[in-house]
Amino acid sequence: MAGAIAYISRDTDGVAWRKQLEAGLGQIDYRTIADGLGNTDEIEVALAWKPKPGLLATFKNMKMIVSLGMGVDHLLADDKLPEGVPITRIMDDGLVGQMSEYAIYWALRHHRDIDKYAASQRAKAWKPEEFVDSIHRRIGVMGLGTIGQDTAKKFAALGFPAAGWSRTAKTIAGIETFHGADGFRKFLARTDILVDVLPLTRDTKGLLNAQAFATLPKGAYFINMARGGHVVDADLLTALDSGHLSGAALDVFNTEPLPADHPYWTHPKVHVTPHIAGATNPRTASSSVIENIKRLRAGQPLINRVDPKTGY
């Protein structure tokens, strides 16, 4: 008999995931951490989001860990992960679309000076702002995985000069690409609106520091929908306060939920959203999970497997 599938998350999507998995796999032994996991030696697959450190290591017969997000840093932060158990991540077209929508919304809001017009409305002032053509507003996307490529291509389709930066070289039609440490400075120097969709790894933690922000052109705008750990908060605040950066839209933070006393909440140049740029939807995310469970049970190679050394 196939082993149990455990839903390791405190959110409310456990029922929805069960519905999708049973539609694709038939009757399953499905357990949630909220309802009780029973004999954990019977668990074969864990669908996990920010599990308690050390918990997964107690599942003695687990054969696959599935990240319930496209990022896996929340799993790799656990130094007691069971050795040799493959980690896979979801590939969710719905989530990809949400992420690009988030970036486009904030970029267009900045590009068309909507906040300035909102202030003019409150002041009852008829005040047209000087307009910047799209072809002169350069978009830069950090991270050229599935989400980054989709986002960059959509900006290019809107007429913005779009570029992307990644750890290794990539070629994408219609997108100027940069890679590696040498390409990072050149990428930042040509970017008026910076969009971060990088995975969080040892190499990317704190990557957006005072030097990086200073390399962006004066007046640049920053959108972070990746991970807060990329940003040195004090350096971002300094760049905003000095006027070098014109603003930031932040969906992710070093500490979540964002502490009530954090300066971001009340900073006049910062927009805060509570990690909602892209939410995993079981209806669109389950197909790759179902495929991997079938492959696991058939002894076939898994898809969307993560390399713990690179973090993605």
Catalytic positions, written as ranges:
227, 275
- Do 272 and 257 meet the contact criterion of CB atoms below 8 Å apart? no
- Do 199 and 227 meet the contact criterion of CB atoms below 8 Å apart? yes
Q: What does residue 205 show for φ and ψ, rounded to 5 degrees?
A: -60, 130
Q: Where are the strands (E) in the chain, listed by range?
A: 4-8, 30-32, 43-48, 64-67, 87-89, 139-142, 162-166, 176-179, 193-196, 220-224, 245-250, 270-272
The H-or-E segment that residue 150 falls in is helix 146-157
**Separation in Å, CA 142 to CA 92, 281, 286, 306:** 20, 24, 27, 20
Please tell me what DSSP assigns to residue 301.
P
- Tokens of residue 226, six digits: 């990746």
